[in-house]
Structure 1
Amino acid sequence: MTSTWNISSNDQHMEYIQQRPVHGMYPAMTNTWNITSNDQNMEYNQQWLEHGIYPEMTRTWIITSKDHNIKCIQQLKAHGMYPAMTRTWNIFSNDQYIECIQL
C-alpha cells in the first residue's frame, strides 16, 4: 500500500484521479512521491521529513517548478486552499502552481 508517483510537469497536465487508475497510478494511504519538474527530482518522503515537510493524510500541495520550493500544508491553509480528502490534482509547470481541485 504505497503511493509512489512519477510526475513530469514540462507543460503537461496530469490527468484527474479518475483517469489515473487506468495507468496504474491509484493513490494509497501513504504519501511517497517522485516528482520531476524541469529536470529536477524532488526527493522522497523520508527527506521531506528532514525538512519539516511531512505529508498529511490530505495530499494537497502547492509545488513550484523552477525554484523547487514545496510549500507545506500550513501555508495552504493560509491561502484558503485547505486540503480535502479528495485526491484530484491539476498540475502545471513553468513557474505555475500545483493547485488542488475540490470535487
Structure 2
Amino acid sequence: MPGFLTTHVLDTARGCPAEGLKIVLYRVSGNSHRKIAEAVTNADGRTDGPILPEGEFRTGTYELVFFAGDYLRRQGLDALEPLFLDEVPIRFGMAEETHYHVPLLLSPYGYSTYRGS
C-alpha cells in the first residue's frame, strides 16, 4: 500500500471534534523545516483529505503544528491570555510506506497524541 498521512483533532474538554483548527505540515531535515501542506479541520475535526497524500508521501521526519491557541480563543478562552497552549508541534518519523494517522486530543491545559489507524 502506498503511504499517506491523516490527522484529526478532538476537543476533549468539550467532548467534540475541533472544527476550524489550522494545521501545518513540515518535512524536517536536521535544523531545516520545509512547509509542505496546510489544512483546516472540518466539522468532524478532520482534514478533508490526507494532509500528505499518496503521491507526495516520502519516508522521513515530519512535524505537524496545530494552531490550538486560535481555536481555543474562538471557544471563549481569550480572557486567559496568554493561553497555556498556543501552537502544538508534534514531530514524528514515518519509516514505512503505509498509512500513518497522527491525531491530537486537545484541552486548554493539555494534549496527547498517538499513532492511530
Shorter-chain TM-score bucket reads 0.3 to 0.5
Q: Which has the higher strand share?
A: 2
Q: Quick check: which has more Rg, 1 or 2?
A: 2
- Structure with larger RCO (C-alpha < 8 A, sep 6+): 2
Normalised to the residue count of structure 1, the TM-score between the two structures is 0.32
